Amino acid sequence: MSPSVIGFSLLILGLLLVVGKIIRVRTPVLQDLFLPSSLIAGFVALILGPEILGQFVDFSKFFSPMDSGLFPAESLEVWRSLPSLMINVVFATLFLGKKIPNVKSIWRLAGPQVILGYIISFGQYVVGLLLVVFLLTPVFGVNPMAGALIEVAFVGGHGTAAGLSDTFVSMGFPEGQALSTGLATVGVLGGAIFGIALINWGIRNGKAKVVSEIQSRDELEKKGITEFDDRDPAGYLSTRPESIEPLSLHFGYIAISIMIGYAILQALVKIEAMTWGAATGVYLLAYVPLFPIAMIGGIVTQMLINKNDRYQTLDTELINRLQGLALDILIVSALATLQLSVIKDNIVPFLVLSIGGTLWTVFAFLFLAPRILSLYWFERGIGDFGQSMGVTATGLMLMRITDPENKTPALESFGYKQLLFEPFAGGGIFTAASIPLIYQFGSVNILILTSVILLALLIFGFTYFKKLN
């Protein structure tokens, strides 16, 4: 594939992002749903692509490269490869520029939310595997690995779903990527819709302690535009551009993080091949994608910077902007290449998993969060609910509605929670390994494993934190 094709494909993605932003600015209902422009742009690309418009109009009659809807087939090939690349950037930047406190400090403030987050995640595995073992596989012939899709898609989001595409293929479950991307979309929409409904319920019933009503947003805020006089810098010039452009330096830090992660992963794969893999024939690390290990690479890079960079050249805001760019590209490209035919062929399992995952997550918020979080449980739990349905951004959005002035410890404890949560769940190591685990050991064995973990977490959460509160 020529460099010009790759470049042109990226230009089309940029155009789609602008179109998505324009549509959001001019569509109040999309503003009320808090849908990001990248998600809207992805839907536009999906509609104009081969799965919808291309089914009705053969554009190759007018312009030969356009044999896939309005987009050249080669561009779609480029887009299919982007999510598995961009997810490495997203995860490598999670801890870059962040202060990494000791575990004791994190646990003191965020321990209850860490446990609640794990309860929701492992509960999603249990629900998914129960549905697979007793309904979806015996009745509909669904691949047993579908039992992991609720957690992969809901907590992991579009990024994790797309990032696992190579793993799905290598495990003989290629339809898993389309199903998980579709489930991630359900999670984002459900997180916003059910989250707002739960906040209204909490206000009416006195569960929300800080707000008495959902705060109205002005027109610019609804449109996602920052008032001109209130605009903060997107980053600071930590280096002089004549020596190195700050954005280039921060790209370098991200590249180092990913390379460290790659080296760690390759070392682990070799160790596995020479030890338990050779002895038992069971291989897991060989199927684990790079992105959760790239997150570890980011932590290593941050520690090296803390120790050696006395000029403090790493700026958190610039890292956040690069992470946001990668995530936007990831979401648009993942949705643009979504195979609706796969979802259509598996519509019943898709709906069953969607409903099962949503019901469990709502139950966890309403019945488990009050008993584990206790203090300001609603403001803190709504963030975990949003993250467990539609990734971290949804959780932050819902917390901002319930605690707009940060009067509770919700935001701070939610942030600390990620340091002990994301390395393992929601796209972390266990999430990435869940598909290979089911492949190697079977859905029943992993159902038993996740059920035991869930039960242990519930007992610990109900007893340990009850003593603290």
How many angstroms separate the Cα of 110 from the Cα of each of 13, 48, 269?
Answer: 38, 44, 33
340 assigned to some structural domain: yes
Distances (CA, A) of 378 to 67, 113, 210, 217: 51, 12, 10, 21
Residue 19 lies in a domain: no
Contact of 258 with 87, CB cutoff 8 Å: no
- At residue 2, the pLDDT reads 84
Query: Does 267 reside within a domain?
Result: no
**CA geometry: angle 322, 323, 327, nearest 5 deg:** 120
Residue 167 inside a domain? The answer is yes
Which residues does 27 contact at the CB level (< 8 Å), separation at least 6?
none
User: What phi and psi values does residue 143 have, to the nearest 5 degrees?
Assistant: -60, 130
Count of CB atoms situated within 10 Å of the CB of 52: 13
Total structural domains in the chain? Answer: 1
pLDDT tens, per residue, the chain with 469 residues: 688 989 999 999 999 999 999 999 999 888 877 778 888 999 899 899 888 887 777 666 655 555 567 888 889 889 988 988 898 998 899 889 877 777 777 787 788 999 999 999 999 999 999 999 999 999 999 999 999 999 999 998 887 888 888 889 988 999 998 999 899 889 888 888 898 889 889 888 888 877 665 556 667 766 667 676 666 776 677 788 889 999 999 999 999 999 999 999 999 999 988 987 777 777 778 778 888 889 899 999 999 999 998 888 999 889 989 988 998 898 888 888 888 888 888 999 999 999 999 999 999 999 999 999 877 899 999 989 988 987 676 787 788 778 877 788 887 788 778 878 888 888 888 998 999 999 999 999 999 999 999 999 999 999 887 655 5
Residue 258 placed within a domain: no
Exposed/middle/buried for 147, CB within 10 Å: 0-12, 13-18, 19+? buried
**Quick one: CA dihedral 233, 234, 237, 238, positive or negative?**
positive
Residue 295 covered by a domain: no
In a domain, 235, yes or no: no
- Give the pLDDT confidence score for residue 445 in this predicted structure: 97
Query: Residue 142 belongs to what domain range?
Result: 87-211+321-468
Identify which of 386, 394, 393 has the alpha carbon closest to the alpha carbon of residue 364.
Answer: 386
Q: What's residue 366's pLDDT?
A: 95
- Cα angle 385, 387, 391; round to 5: 150
Helices 316-336 and 73-92 pack at an angle, to 10 degrees, of 150
Q: How far apart are CA 234 and CA 398, in angstroms?
A: 23
Tokens of 237: 């010039």
76 located within any domain: no
Please report where in the chains the tokens 């801890």 appear, as a residue: 95
Q: CA–CA separation, 126 vs 145, rounded Å?
A: 12
Residues 6+ apart with CB under 8 A from 375: 409, 469
